[in-house]
Chains A and B, each alone.
Chain A
Amino acid sequence: MPRVVVDVMLKPEILDPQGQAVANALPRLGVNDVASVRIGRRIEIEFTGEPDLDRAREIADKLLANPVIEDFTVRVVEADDTADARS
């Protein structure tokens, strides 16, 4: 069944302390070539009928993201589209 994926990210100008904490930990893994890390949230929605991008966008705007501090994108993916998960 196709599903709608909503990606929520803090706006670029909002400090992301979680991402910063990860970025600061990377040198301990020997990783020294990362300039920044930002952490967001991925939400997968399965509609009972056809995936509805407009309704998903409304859900994201009202509930999944806080537009004051976060941006979001919505897209449809096929359930067997594992390339999305692997890439």
Chain B
Amino acid sequence: MTARVGVVTFPGSLDDGDAARAVRIAGAEPVRLWHGDPDLHGVDAVVLPGGFSYGDYLRCGAIARFAPVMETLVDAARGGLPVLGICNGFQILCEAHLLPGALTRNQHLHFRNRDQVLRIETVATAWTNAFQPGQEVLIPVKNGEGCYVADAATLDQLEAEGRVVARYVGGNPNGSQRDIAAITNSAGNVVGIMPHPEHAVEALTGPSLDGLGFFTSVLKHLVGAPA
């Protein structure tokens, strides 16, 4: 049976199409979900894509957190549903308190857009099990508010529990504390990542195919998960 992976579209989402294509290239069936519809339509996993949900007018992800789909998604994520938040999706996961910390303006205040090397720090998540521990991958990053911050106790806890999923290598594009590019919740089913794996799944449009590993990971995870 083909896994069904939902991709939520918020007003202002702009990478939902790429996320859905990445899901399809990885071998799953993308299911388009709408921010105003609380029904998850029986999907096996969900991607919150990049973009500028609700215009990011107040604060990135702050308003999207209260979208009808999020009310349902927060409960499902706490129940173990795999959820990947990319860029704006990462910001939404933090605002929804599914992940600790917050994303703030890049330290240098510039929008940063480049191909970025990441080191995968843990493969014990639903979204990174297809990688090797310590594997370096090349994935585009493009953000203005990608600087990950949390208090020292939270950062120490993330490190101690192996919940730093990926770190920037060869330069930190936004000033994120401890070079953090991606983190996970304690159960490992919810991952937030600032760079864009969905933009690195095809030779024509991406710098590598490394992003595909995130999407094939969740398929592997779902096969192993009890029905």
Contact-residue size bin, chain A (C-beta under 8 Å from the other chain) = 10 to 19
Among A17, A63, A66, contact of B109 (Cβ-Cβ < 8 Å): A17
**Distance between Cα atoms of A13 and B150 in the complex (Å):** 10
Most B Cβ at <10 Å: residue of A21, A63, A64, A66: A66
Chain A residues, Cβ within 8 Å of B95 = 66
**Distance between Cα atoms of A16 and B107 in the complex (Å):** 8
**Distance between Cα atoms of A18 and B107 in the complex (Å):** 9
Chain A residues, Cβ within 8 Å of B108 = 17
B162 contacts the other chain (Cβ, under 8 Å)? no
A15→B101 contact, CB < 8 A:
no
Contact-residue size bin, chain B (C-beta under 8 Å from the other chain) = 20 to 34
Among B59, B105, B106, contact of A66 (Cβ-Cβ < 8 Å): B59
B102→A68 contact, CB < 8 A:
yes
A17→B107 contact, CB < 8 A:
yes
Nearest-Cβ distance from residue B81 to partner chain A, whole angstroms:
23
Residue-wise interface mask of B (42-61) relative to A, using a CB-CB cutoff of 8 A (1 in contact, 0 not): 00000000000000001100
Those of A45-86 within 8 Å (CB) of chain B: 63-64, 66, 68-69
Those of A4-60 within 8 Å (CB) of chain B: 10, 13-15, 17-18, 21
Nearest-Cβ distance from residue A9 to partner chain B, whole angstroms:
13
Residue of B nearest to A43 (CB): B58
**Distance between Cα atoms of A15 and B66 in the complex (Å):** 27
B109→A18 contact, CB < 8 A:
yes
Among B58, B66, B149, contact of A14 (Cβ-Cβ < 8 Å): B149
**Distance between Cα atoms of A13 and B155 in the complex (Å):** 14
B209 contacts the other chain (Cβ, under 8 Å)? no
**Distance between Cα atoms of A13 and B151 in the complex (Å):** 9
Among A10, A64, A68, contact of B150 (Cβ-Cβ < 8 Å): A68
Chain A residues, Cβ within 8 Å of B175 = 15, 17
Those of B37-91 within 8 Å (CB) of chain A: 58-59, 62-63, 66
Residue-wise interface mask of B (105-124) relative to A, using a CB-CB cutoff of 8 A (1 in contact, 0 not): 11111000000000000000
Most A Cβ at <10 Å: residue of B101, B104, B109: B104
Chain B residues, Cβ within 8 Å of A18 = 105, 109
Residue of B nearest to A69 (CB): B102
Nearest-Cβ distance from residue A14 to partner chain B, whole angstroms:
6
Given A15-B147, A15-B175, 6 more pairs with CB closer than 8 A: A14-B149, A15-B107, A17-B175, A63-B62, A66-B95, A69-B104
* A residues with CB within 8 A of B: 10, 13-15, 17-18, 21, 63-64, 66, 68-69
16 contacts between A and B (CB under 8 A): A13-B151, A15-B104, A15-B147, A15-B175, A17-B108, A21-B109, A63-B62, A63-B63, A64-B58, A66-B95, A66-B102, A68-B94, A68-B150, A69-B102, A69-B104, A69-B149
